[in-house]
Structure 1
Amino acid sequence: MDTDTSEKKELEILLCLSKAIAAARHRADLWEIINEQLLETFGASYYTICLINEDGVTHSPFLYSTEKKIRTITGENPIIHQRHPVHDGIFDRAIEAEEPVLFNMERLVRQKDIPAYIIHWYNAGVKEMMLVRICNGKEPKGVLYLYSRKTGVLSGNRDSFLNGIADHLGTGISNILANEKIVQQLTEIRKYKTRLEQENSYLKEEWKKERHLTGNTVGSATAMKEVYDLVSKVAPSEATVLILGETGTGKELVAHQVHEASRRRDKLMIKVNCAAIPVNLVESELFGHEKGSFTGALERRIGKFELANNSTLFLDEIGELPMEMQAKLLRVLQEKEIERIGGKSVYKVNVRIIAATNKNLEAEVQAGRFRSDLYYRLNVFPVVLPPLRERREDIPALAAFFMEKYATNAGKKITGIAPKVMAKLMAYPWPGNIRELEHLIERTVLLTSTHHITEVSLPVKNKVLSSQMGMETQVRSLADVEREHILHMLKLSKGRISGPHGAAAKLQLPSTTLISKMQKLGIRKEHFVDIQQQGN
């Protein structure tokens, strides 16, 4: 074939390839073009296209061929798809050369410090390798590696023809990378849109609820001044806050105050009531789930942790969280990442935690109902809210505030509370604390037909509800009682189960029976260690 005919054929190939490459929008499109048209044209067996990474000091594959289907940088061979230095003695020679660089593999592998990918292709039977610089305009972007199982094949290609192909590849690769970036941005936009929709839905649900968050700064008792001082100190930080106090003392209110005074105030604070979620739905509520991950999962759902990213997550009634979920919550707090149920991806989250409970968590830890490691993780900055009976001087201001609020809501003009009524309010123990006072005033306002509240119907003293002695009175299950008794025996036995001085002997049980009961009740070794340390 004469020179003119050869050049004409090369020009036809270039024109055909330029159209095909320009139309490629995905890596798979370009892979097919190279595998089905270029390899045969060059007489090559395999190829690799490597691009310089954003760091400027390493390069990694963009596409490469094998005897199997397409492989990209997520391929199976770690030697091929890992990052390599730009200055590895091979890649940099091609980048600096204006013409293709040809290597004899037999001689190349005898040199020192040869990159691992060269050894890989040599072991695959490659005899000859040619490298062609790929540019986008005048800027070098990467290298096209051509491999042949025979010697003398690649050297027959004209340099100008190879350079022309490389230039078209540079343009095509830039188009594909731009398209991938657009797809990634669209995906991020869709995720952001979904997040906004879910945040909006959550906000609407919150507004529908009777939040009772008004009157949040009413109170001048010394105990409350100490609480406000603690809130002002911890709010600007990122520290985890644990709010402790009886039911109705305003723990959610304080959580809102911490959030509103923090650097995350511009984001919505997300709330989870751990006591109000069915046990089988707690994990989904916190971490979300993928569509079809379990029966009833008809669509993907983002969990509260993901929803609270870069904001605050309020875990109310944390003492009610099941033991299994306590372990998963601890992992999230430690690793700062979550995984949706049924998902394969891990998502990093930046969430500030505020937890609250009306339980004595130290006692719960000792009884084996709350993990000690989670307790210490949450108990970074405790804030203890005083019960209303310990801040009685705030009762007149609180009662007046609630009276004005509910009189306005009811369209009534009530201007004051009679002294005898106020005396009764001051003398009552308020087992339900501020919440009970608020509900009582609301009911009284509805029943009052004059401009002053002259009568109030206080609840009859109820020993079950009253917390004057600061004791938690509740119906306990047999399993809880049995568990606490076993743990007490373990404490007396210093963690020993069997033997004459072990817990089994004290309980008059075979050690195997005791171990079986412990497994059934969820008593683990960590509980022995904690109890033993506390007992010493």
Structure 2
Amino acid sequence: MMNTQISGKNDEFETLLCFSKAIAAARHRADLWEIVNEQLLENIGASYYTLCLIHEDTRTHSPFLYSQEKKIKTVTGESPVIHLQHPVDDGVFNKAVETEEPVVFELRSLIRQRNIPAYVIHWYNSGVKEMMLVRVCNGKEPKGVLYLYAMKQGVFSKRRFSFFKSIADQLGTGVSNILANEKIELQLEEIRKYKIQLEQENSYLKEERKKEKHLTGKAVGDSPAIRKVYDLVSKVASSDATVLILGETGTGKELIAHQVHDASPRRDKLMIKVNCAAIPASLLESELFGHEKGSFTGALERRIGKFELADNSTLFLDEIGELPPEMQAKLLRALQEKEIERIGGKSVIKVNVRIIAATNKNLEAEIIAGRFRSDLYYRLCVFPIMLPPLRERREDIPELVSFFMEKYAASSGRKIDGIAPKALEKLKTYAWPGNIRELEHLIERTVLLTSTNVITEVSLPARSKMLFAQPGAETPVRSLADVEREHILKMVKLSKGRISGPHGAAAKLQLPSTTLISKMQKLGIRKEHFIDTGKESD
């Protein structure tokens, strides 16, 4: 008998030594599952096992699963999920945690007790006769319990308790190592994602710097009209005030936005640009505010939006008049609250962004037409800058021509010394419906077509007279109150002075008559403004 006991101890020591080496090398849950099933269960006479860990709340416990999926692996395959989460004080688990020695239960007796956990009934119905629980610790701190299940009684004898405790101690070390490794892998994955994200952002910033090279420096010209713009830029640049740049297409709104940014305290960071007209409405929210991975179909990675990229810098919103109505409310909130939320995100992100917006549309007319929010307009129009069309600053044309001529002669490898007075005079009398952009493209084309050192002829578009003759080409910028007053007066006169009723001005304007009367009073519209005779209307 002594020899048998010695042989058994040697076997246990050998098993424990092999188990210890294998556990030390385990880095993933799958490794642990394989080690227990292949090296342990058969040696200790158990058919199944469950390793349960105490949650951080210290009140509940659940299995340390083979994978992140909700499955419990056993030597015979997968068993049903019967042990997902239970209170620590369930009448079984807590008994094992409270004692250093393993606790053995005979299941036939155990199920007769009241309020026993559901997992006990499951294992009893599966044919398990005996269950042993061994406390698992990391050092001296209890971390969980190892459940071992046998299909017959007497498997877990008391003389082997020290062996079972040693096994549990090794499992405690193994679990701690695996959890630490999982945490490191998650951190490495986050670092990898952020590295990719930073590379993408860096690539974007490099491309933007290449694009903006032609926009650096000061605007060209010294006419009274453009000097007014320079003066406004110098006054607003040092502040954080929102700037709205207005003007016809091709007047240089982006260049002025760069000058505001370059003269501001934010000049050391790149100005971020978004063209609201160039991005599909379905993608604009993600472009501005970013999105989390999986927030919508195709969102394979987290994306940082332009607001976050522009944090502590300037965000230039070009073609703001093209912003879809559903995005106008979201932009307004971001401007007012100075915070954003990524699509699919659960937290609010504070941003410190200076906004410069630009448009060639008459936003006041867009408000009247119901296509632009008046509250967003007032939020953007803190400091408006109106750029003059080129036809209102013709004295700047010689300087602009010289600038573009030198620029494109250098890039094309040609030597152009100047332009003939007759050709220059022709340029000065042209209407320039496309403004400075049209002039630039014309000079570029002319430089390429010129074979001499002096430009003697310029080919102006044949459509110029028609474009210049279009009515409203020089539409003045008017206040919203003036536009609204004129529109109301027109409707009241059309209604022959009648305010209420089915044929009254209120019905035409789709407003309650009380609201219309209030607006008229606020705008200073009186009866003598719309009634030619002495007759009164209701």
TM-score when normalising by structure 2:
0.59
1:145 and 1:350 map into 2 onto residues whose CA distance is: 45
- Bigger CA radius of gyration: 2
Distance 1:185 1:227, change over 3 A: same
In the aligned structure 2, how far is the partner of 1:42 from the partner of 1:534?
90
Counterpart secondary structure, 1:398: helix
Taking the TM superposition and a 5 Å limit, the aligned residue runs for 1:164-313 are 165-178=168-181, 180-182=183-185, 184-186=187-189, 188-189=191-192, 192-193=195-196, 196=199, 200=203, 207=210, 213=215, 216-219=218-221, 221-234=227-240, 242-257=244-259, 270-279=272-281, 282=284, 305=305, 309=309, 313=315
Q: Which residue of 2 aligns with 1:387?
A: 388
Distance 1:175 1:529 in 2: 72
In structure 2, the CA distance between the partners of 1:30 and 1:346, relative to structure 1 (3 Å rule), is farther
- The 2-side partners of 1:188 and 1:533 are apart by 60
Partner deviation per Cα, 1:446-472 (whole Å, 9 max, x = no partner): 566766667767643623386323379
Shift of residue 210 of structure 1? 9.9
Deviation at 1:143, TM superposition (A): 1.6
Q: Secondary structure at the match of 1:338?
A: coil
Contact 1:366 1:531 in 2 (8 A): no
Closer/same/farther in 2, CA of residues 10 and 277 from structure 1, 3 Å limit = same
Residue 398 of structure 1 is aligned with which of 397, 400, 421?
A: 400
How far apart are the structure 1 equivalents of 2:60 and 2:394? 71
Q: Identify if the C-alpha distance between structure 1 residues 61 and 258 changes in structure 2 by more than 3 Å, giving closer, same or farther.
A: farther
- Alignment partner, residue 316 of structure 1: 318
Per-residue deviation at 1:354? 4.4
* Residues 300/148 of structure 1: CA separation in 2 closer, same or farther (3 Å cut): closer
Rounded to whole Å, the distance in 1 between the matches of 2:50 and 2:504 is: 71
Q: Once the two structures are superposed, what CA deviation does each residue of 1:506-531 show, in whole Å capped at 9, x if it has no partner?
A: 359xxxxx9xxxxxxxxxx9x99999
Q: String of CA shifts for 1:152-196, please: whole Å, max 9, x gaps.
A: 999957468526633553255325523542454245325533652
What SS does structure 2 have at the residue aligned with 1:218? coil
Q: Matched residues in 2 for 1:274 and 1:153: separation?
A: 74
Q: Which runs of 5+ in 2 are unaligned?
A: 74-80, 105-114, 122-130, 479-486, 523-538
User: Take 1:154 and 1:303, find their aligned partners in 2: how far apart are those partners?
Assistant: 56
List aligned pairs for 1:479-494, cutoff 5 A. none
Q: Provide Cα deviations, 1:338-378, integer angstroms capped at 9, x if missing partner.
A: 23xxxx677987774543222233442343212455556x6
Q: Distance in 1 between matches of 2:157 and 2:8?
A: 16
The residue type equivalent to 1:15 in the other structure is L
SS in structure 2 of the partner of residue 11 of structure 1: helix
Query: CA separation in 1, counterparts of 2:517 and 2:302?
Result: 41
AA matched with 2:380: N
Query: Aligned residues: percent identity?
Result: 43
User: 1:414: Cα distance to partner?
Assistant: 1.9
Tell me the CA shift for residue 256 of structure 1: 3.7
For residues 424 and 294 of structure 2, what CA distance do their matches in structure 1 show? 57
Provide the C-alpha distance between the structure 2 equivalents of 1:447 and 1:325, rounded to a whole number of angstroms. Answer: 46
2:145 is the counterpart of 1:145: yes
d(CA) in 1 for partners of 2:11 and 2:513? 83
The answer to whether the Cα contact below 8 Å between 2:317 and 2:357 also exists between their aligned partners in 1 is: yes
CA distance in 1, matches of 2:116, 2:284: 52
Contact in 2 for aligned 1:144/1:166 (Cα 8 Å): no
Q: 1:69 to 1:252 in 2, by over 3 A?
A: same
Structure 2 match to 1:30: 32
State whether residues 317 and 358 of structure 2, in contact with CA within 8 Å, keep that contact through their aligned partners in structure 1.
Answer: yes
SS of the residue corresponding to residue 233 of structure 1 reads coil
- TM-fit CA distance, 1:100: 3.1
Distance 1:246 1:163, change over 3 A: farther
Deviates more, 1:180-189 or 1:153-162: 153-162
Give the paired residue count.
450
The structure-2 alpha-carbon separation of the partners of 1:35 and 1:301, relative to structure 1 and needing over 3 Å to count, comes to closer
Cα distance change, pair 440–350 in 1 and its aligned pair in 2 (3 A):
farther
2:414 paired with 1:408: no
Which residue pairs with 1:108 in the alignment?
none
SS at match of 1:232: coil
Alpha-carbon distance in 2 for matches of 1:469, 1:181: 64
Contact 2:137 2:169 in 1 (8 A): yes
2:481 matched residue in structure 1: none
Residues 317, 355 of structure 1: 8 Å contact kept: yes
What is the rounded CA distance, in whole Å, between the counterparts of 1:330 and 1:163 in structure 2? 64
Q: What is the distance in 2 between the residues matched to 1:400 and 1:528? A: 60
Whether the 8 Å contact between 2:244 and 2:358 is mirrored in structure 1 is yes
- 1:333-348 to structure 2, matched below 5 A, reads 336-339=340-343
The answer (yes or no) to whether the contact 1:264–1:310 under 8 Å persists in 2 is no
Give the letter aligned to residue 317 of structure 1.
E
Q: 1:142 to 1:38 in 2, by over 3 A?
A: farther
Q: Which residue of the partner structure matches residue 464 of structure 1?
A: 470
244-253 vs 326-335, which moves further = 326-335
Partner SS state of residue 195, structure 2: helix
Separation of aligned partners in 2, 1:375 and 1:101 = 75
- Assess if the C-alpha contact under 8 Å between 1:243 and 1:383 holds in 2: yes
Instruction: Say if 2:125 is the partner of 1:100.
Output: no
CA distance in 1, matches of 2:52, 2:380: 55
**Distance in 1 (alpha carbons) for counterparts of 2:120 and 2:24:** 33
For residue 444 of structure 1, report the CA deviation from its aligned partner.
5.2
Instruction: Give ranges in structure 1 of 5+ residues lacking alignment.
Output: 85-89, 105-119, 473-484, 494-498, 509-513, 515-524
